[in-house]
Structure 1
Amino acid sequence: MARDTINRLERSPLHLLHRAGQCAAEIFQSELGEDDLTPRQYAILLTVANNEGVSQTQLVELTGIDRSTLADVVRRMLKKGLLQRRRTRDDARAYAVKVTEEGAKVLKARDPLARKVDERILSGLPASQRDRFLQDLGAIIQTLNRLREKESAGKSADAPSTQRRGA
Structure 2
Amino acid sequence: MDDRDELLALDNQVCFAIVTAARNVVSIYRPILEPLGLTHPQYLVMLALWESEPRTLGELADALALEPATVSPLVKRLEKQGLLQRARASEDERALAIRATPEGRALRERALDVPGQVMAAVGADAERLGLLRDALAPFAGGRRGR
Letter in 1 for 2:26: A
1:140-166 deviations in whole A, cap 9, x for unaligned?
2135x8xxxxxxxxxxxxxxxxxxxxx
Give the distance between the partners of 1:99 and 1:35, measured in 2 at CA.
15
Counterpart in the other structure of 1:108: 109
Verify the 8 A CA contact 1:10 1:16 in the aligned structure 2: yes
Letter in 2 for 1:132: L
Matched residue SS, 1:90:
coil
Aligned-residue RMSD, C-alpha: 2.8
Q: Give runs of ≥4 in structure 1 deviating > 6 Å.
A: none
Q: Sequence identity, in percent? A: 23
Verify the 8 A CA contact 2:48 2:63 in the aligned structure 1: yes
Long gaps (5+) in structure 1: 146-167
Matched residue SS, 1:98:
strand
Greater C-alpha Rg: 1
- Deviation at residue 47 of structure 1 after TM alignment: 1.1
Verify the 8 A CA contact 1:84 1:98 in the aligned structure 2: yes
Counterpart in the other structure of 1:93: 94
Letter in 2 for 1:59: L
Counterpart in the other structure of 1:137: 136
Matched residue SS, 1:65:
coil
Are 2:65 and 1:64 equivalent residues in the alignment? yes
Normalising to structure 1: TM-score of the pair? Answer: 0.71
Normalising to structure 2: TM-score of the pair? Answer: 0.80
Higher mean Cα deviation, 72-81 or 89-98?
Answer: 89-98
- Deviation at residue 135 of structure 1 after TM alignment: 1.1
Residues paired across the two proteins, number: 139
Letter in 2 for 1:92: E
